Amino acid sequence: MLRNLSRKPRVLIFIVAYNAEKTIQKVLTRIPDSLKEYDTEVLIIDDASADQTFERAEQARRDGLIDYPITVFRNPVNQRYGGNQKIGYHFAVENGFDLVALVHGDGQYAPEALPELIKPIVKGQADAVFGSRMMTLTGALKGGMPMYKYVGNRILTCFQNTLLQSQLSEFHSGYRLYSTHALRNIPFELNADDFHFDTEIIIQLLFAGLTIKEIPIPTYYGDEICHVNGLKYAWDVAKATMTARLQRYHLMYRRNFDVRKEESQGNLIYSPKLDFTSPHTESLNRVPEGATVVDIGCASGYLSKPLKDKNCKVYGVDVFPAENVESFVEFKQCDLDRSDFPVDLVGKDVVLLLDVIEHLKNPEAFAEKLHNACSFNWNIKVIISTGNVAFFIPRLMHLFGQFNYGKKGILDLTHTRLFTFSSLRHLLQESGFVVVEEKGIPAPFPKALASEKTARFLVELNQWLIGRWKEMFAYQIFMVVKPKPTLPSLLKDAIEHSRVRGMAQSLAEQKNLVHQDQQDFAPQAPSHAPVAAVGAETGAAGRH
């Protein structure tokens, strides 16, 4: 928005023109003189017309047809509607204008409305202003808009408002004004060159949190030639809008819609998921009271408080500096891909590795270092979570040729390795761990949906589906593992066990020898065999 300018605002009237030789000069003469209160200039870009549009515009410039400076360009190759706009907006930004007003060379949008459309931006009330033909119920029809276009406009606008959670009366007006401050903050150059450029720039403005204001304008349909393929345009608009909505859920990604400032420089801001079933809640349930915990990839320490509430001692490890070092008994900053295992695990009870392993360049090497660090602490418990790339939505997208990384989710842009239940299990087993527990985690619907009731229902449904087929319907993989003894420790145990057993055997043998010696040197009693026989006989006789 424009605020507190100490000079006249610089305004660029940008006229896009294609085969407009009959109308371009008339459009120029309709620009109101009242715009002289601003530092106003006109830019005309002829998009490789097949007629004399450029020559008519140049003639108007040379003859001083209007009292505003005019610049005329002609694209040697047709850039199409969106591509032509990009050039004009780039010109406005590079040449220090404060706002740019898009006007069509065929005269369909009245230049007479410019003074009213400019005011909200100049007064700092809006970042963009759209002239809307739909703010009155039947105004567009009275102005000559064909019924099929009117109905299509209404349906598409309703569809887009629903998906984008906006309240515009019209998405499809070509009468637009933008502050160059807004244009600098959105990557409009990445948008489509076709007619749905207009939809994509609205999405960018909405996602960037910029203010759009609509002002009613009259509708005029003359004998201009329409170059828009209606069905293709509708499909392109719907596809762009659906893609943008899915990007909000981190299921798809387009760079041009990546305009949110959700991340601090270098360090992603992760938020805890403690209000619904998640790796965080499952981990907390499995950490014993009073345990000593090593939280690898602890981020801002969002789990340290609930762990402290369980009287746990927490050691933190992360590649970025901790914002709350006091949350930990000790914090170490290190790159897990480049350094040795950063914490001595002797005396530790639990290692948390939540949503970390997928960020490592070499998970196998790290798992080996982790296992070695567990030497002689075979009772330690390691809790691991990661995204399930076999979740049904990525599978379905892959079926249609889509494999889109995004800002968050399973296909996070920062992920370097992707796992299924099977591949993670094999990695851990081959690294010397025994899987004690394996569980599927539902998608974080409460984070994505505003309706708590709907989110709760979807979580429960997802849980039920996981119970039937976790490999397909689990959004995340959750495993609890324990280390198996290493070969050196097994060999050491075998040697020690053999030594102790050998000593026991030697002691037993010595005891046997002593006992035998005692028997050998003991006095021998005389033989009483005959007496015994006589006694037996006497006894026998006595019984008779």
Domain spanning 279-487: CATH superfamily: Vaccinia Virus protein VP39 (3.40.50.150)
Query: Which bin fits 122, alpha (ψ -120 to 50), beta or left (φ > 0)?
Result: alpha
pLDDT at 537: 44
404: region left, alpha or beta (phi > 0 left; psi from -120 to 50 alpha): beta
Fold of 10-257: Spore Coat Polysaccharide Biosynthesis Protein SpsA; Chain A (3.90.550)
Which has more pLDDT, 48 or 303? 48
Polymer length in residues for the chain:
544
So what's the pLDDT on residue 145? 80
Alpha-carbon distance of 497 to 490, in angstroms, equals 10
Residue 463 makes CB contacts below 8 A (sequence gap 6+) with: 277, 442
Average pLDDT, the chain: 87
- 520: pLDDT strictly greater than 70: no
Q: Could you tell me the CA-to-CA distances from 438 to 354, 435, 465 in Å, in that order?
A: 14, 7, 16
State the Cα–Cα distance between residues 457 and 461, nearest whole angstrom.
Answer: 6
Rounded Cα distance between 481 and 428, Å, is 8
Q: What is the pLDDT of residue 253?
A: 81
Say what the pLDDT of residue 266 is.
Answer: 41
Q: Is the distance from CB of 164 to CB of 179 less than 8 angstroms?
A: no
Residue 165 CB burial class (10 angstroms; 0-12, 13-18, ≥19): exposed
Domain ranges across the chain: 10-257, 279-487
Side-chain half-sphere CA neighbours of 22 within 13 A:
7
Mean pLDDT of 40-53: 96
pLDDT of 231 reads 87
- pLDDT tens digit sequence for 474-508: 999 999 999 987 777 778 878 888 888 888 888 88
**In the chain, what percentage of residues exceed pLDDT 90?**
58
Is the pLDDT at 256 greater than 50? The verdict is: yes
What is the tens place of the pLDDT at every residue in 74-123?
999 999 999 999 999 999 999 999 999 999 999 889 999 999 999 999 99
* Predicted pLDDT at 515: 72
Overall average pLDDT of the 52-65 stretch:
96
**For the whole model, what pTM was predicted?**
0.73
Residues with Cβ within 8 Å of residue 320, at least 6 apart in sequence: 266, 267, 299, 333
Query: CB 115: neighbour CB atoms within 10 A?
Result: 14
Return the CA Rg of the chain: 39
pLDDT-based confidence at 261, cuts 50/70/90? low
Section 282-306 average pLDDT: 90
